[in-house]
Amino acid sequence: MAVLDGALIDIDGVLTLSWRPIPGAVRALTRLREADLPFVLLTNTTSRTRSAIAATLGDLGFPVTLQDILTAPAATAGYLAEHHPGARCLLLNSGDVRQDLAGVTLVDGSEDGAAQADLVLLGGAGPAFHYASLNRAFGLLQHGAPLVAMHRNLYWRTDRGLQLDVGAFLPGLERAANVRAEVIGKPARPFFTAALELLGTEAERTVMVGDDIASDVLAAQRLGITGALVRTGKYQEHALHDADAAPDHVLDSVADLPDLILTRPP
């Protein structure tokens, strides 16, 4: 294969599992760094800020900086500033990512606070997604509030197994309120486009590495990016077989990525 100029790499399930390194992941990124192959860590993670992610990965030995990371919350802040400036947002999210939502006005999640909101903003699912909070969001949507979601992942994998994510709740809100959410993170095209701009490479010279065949790999391939699915994280064999297209590459883990990217044709 032709040598590629850069890589977009998911974090959760590809580099780490419950924030512990997947075997070979640190060495893989180190090899890319040593070869001066640029990469961007492109993640839908909504439980930690960019700075917290960079610090955690650095402590684990990954050769990454804040500038190497693009998160769905950071991209969401940019989207809201452009399309809903000044909107008061009711945020449902498990994890504190307010630092990455700089410039976004968040209302209190109580009943009185929610009544002041102009927009419903969904992040990652967890304890914050209880009946009362979802019903408050539903009430706002019935009265015309826009619905914005940082992503629509169905689940993610932790060391306790698969855990439900926002995609298990979002369709219900959409159907009940007869609205359609604007989704910012993967698999949205603008998120990949922003990552390519940050990376400084063309789509056809870039690889996207992920554990979600739909949101990570096939979404990237539709933009002309080479897709590489890893058999770690949330990977499930039936999802690969049931997908409406095939990934360009299937790797046992991210440890195999340097050989895929750095091997030049004879």
Reported pTM: 0.84
Q: Quick count: other Cβ atoms within 10 Å of Cβ 211?
A: 27
- According to DSSP, the β-strands at 69-71 and 39-43 are parallel
Stretch (H or E) spanning 219 = helix 219-221
**Residue ranges of the chain with per-residue pLDDT less than 50:** 1-2, 266
pLDDT score at 154: 86
Please, which contacts does 174-177 make with residues 24 or more away whose CB atoms are closer than 8 Å? 174/147, 176/138, 176/141, 177/138, 177/141, 177/142, 177/147
Tens of pLDDT, residue by residue over 175-203, are 999 999 999 999 999 999 999 999 999 99
Q: Given CA atoms 213, 261, 194, 45 in this order, what sign does their dihedral have? A: positive
